[in-house]
Structure 1
């Protein structure tokens, strides 16, 4: 079942939010899915099918997908408050699980640090604890951090499609991609560049899964290994082949383990 969409204003930010939940149990723990930088919710649709028994929300960040541009820049802390408010509005008084991919994994960490009693389980996929950990490909790092890359919409679209190819996007994923706005991407980059949750991660007490791809050239597996050092009780799961976008392009390679983890089942083996 694909996402259904509606727009909602939370803490002054208007977001387009993808919903799934018609086949979920009333007692199932809701799942908040957080996407990569500049990505629209449709790119997470295939991965979300791995969690049919629970309600799923996948918000698009300002300037991504069909969410309007932010009026002002925001911090990761503000966006984390926004996500917690969204989940409280949709599921009053209930804890939720969070699954963050890439930039969304950074936001998921901030949510877990800011509202630890609200997050029941935390899955971090191909993500980072914040700069200055490097990106494997220096040219990718230059394009991501150069503000001039976001001024021209046509250049922005060209760069994003190049990054999708480098990350291992499938043809189906490319067709579903909607180019974000320069303001939307710029705000996400600025929020990440000034952020790190690393000092607080050793204090996390909810179950955490760290998943990464050994061939990821955008967020190298070293980022997951660094997170494993910061979160002593975290479980790690490494996919030995595949690039950064494997979780979205070929979700069958990683979705079963994510589903097991979110259902409370312990580790088996890496794939």
Structure 2
């Protein structure tokens, strides 16, 4: 069952963001995974991308919580307020254990980019825990070709050599649409600049060994695949292909959004997701 909100030391934590005056609770699992919780109602597990954190999901989580959903946005192991304790363990299994410890499920699962790769594996292995799956700006993984896997692994050395601030400065512009505001682009950069080497390295290695092609074809949960029109990272065609692989999946393109669509267009993303859920709430 859900424990009282606390950090590692047991001190109560309440987070506030500039765009969200309503408080978000913080909860820490027994294995050191921190979760940001908003609202009440139907539970939604939210998983960020490889260059993000729970903070990346904040604007979307606020909108979903305003419509009667209780959002649980994790900091993956080695990210945000989570510890590095379980970084080398299987991320989908960690997510399943997290839901068990929270005492919730089945849940709607939202995963963006790397988070969607984890979400697909979670839905495949533990369909009883997943009532629906949203794959935003996501992919089959990086083990589609040897070259794509190698490119992913090279990011580890780049982060180690450059440090997170320079690493983010080099990469963040590709994550957003050309029409995205400076304020949102800066938020995306700041999220990436906060990554830590243990968490990012484990995520990159997971992506480099993952090809979810077969996993996606075997999914048996309602699925929405959504992507920004200006996604220059994973791309519209990869998302379109992912949608074709998942039986009965719905596919949507968001205008004026790039790879970081959940931050660039949180209102549009929320409307698309809520429409997909329909009477599943």
For the aligned pair, the TM-score class normalised by the smaller chain equals: 0.7 to 0.9
TM-aligned CA distance change 1:162 to 1:102, over 3 Å:
same
TM-aligned CA distance change 1:15 to 1:122, over 3 Å:
same
Q: Which runs of 5+ in 1 are unaligned?
A: 266-271
CA-atom RMSD in angstroms: 2.5
> Within 5 A, what are the aligned runs for 1:125-140?
125-133=136-144
TM-aligned CA distance change 1:82 to 1:72, over 3 Å:
closer
> Within 5 A, what are the aligned runs for 1:75-90?
78-90=90-102
Pairing partner for 1:181 from 196, 216, 223: 196
- 1-structure distance, mates of 2:28, 2:270: 27
> Within 5 A, what are the aligned runs for 1:156-195?
156-168=164-176, 169-175=184-190, 179-195=194-210
Figure out how many residues of one structure are paired with residues of the other and give that number. Answer: 248
1:260 aligns with 2:275: yes
Structure 1 residue matching 2:163: 3-state secondary structure = helix
Offset of residue 56 of structure 1: 1.1
1:97 aligns with 2:108: yes
TM-aligned CA distance change 1:123 to 1:195, over 3 Å:
same
Q: TM-score by structure 2 length?
A: 0.79
Preserved contact between residue 231 and residue 258 of structure 2 (Cα < 8 Å): yes
Q: TM-score by structure 1 length?
A: 0.82
TM-aligned CA distance change 1:89 to 1:146, over 3 Å:
closer
Structure 1 counterpart of 2:26: 5
Structure 2 residue matching 1:219: 3-state secondary structure = coil
Preserved contact between residue 3 and residue 42 of structure 1 (Cα < 8 Å): no
- 1-structure distance, mates of 2:87, 2:260: 29
- 1-structure distance, mates of 2:151, 2:95: 29
> Within 5 A, what are the aligned runs for 1:1-271?
1-10=22-31, 14-21=32-39, 24-25=40-41, 28=42, 30-52=43-65, 53-70=68-85, 73-74=88-89, 78-92=90-104, 94-133=105-144, 142=151, 145-152=154-161, 154-168=162-176, 169-175=184-190, 179-264=194-279
- 2-structure distance, mates of 1:88, 1:113: 17
- 2-structure distance, mates of 1:88, 1:110: 16
How far does the alpha carbon of each residue in 1:115-149 deviate from its partner, in whole angstroms, 9 at most, with x for none? 01221010000000112458xxx99x847634311
- 2-structure distance, mates of 1:144, 1:237: 30
Q: Which runs of 5+ in 2 are unaligned?
A: 1-21, 177-183
TM-aligned CA distance change 1:132 to 1:190, over 3 Å:
closer
Structure 1 counterpart of 2:180: none
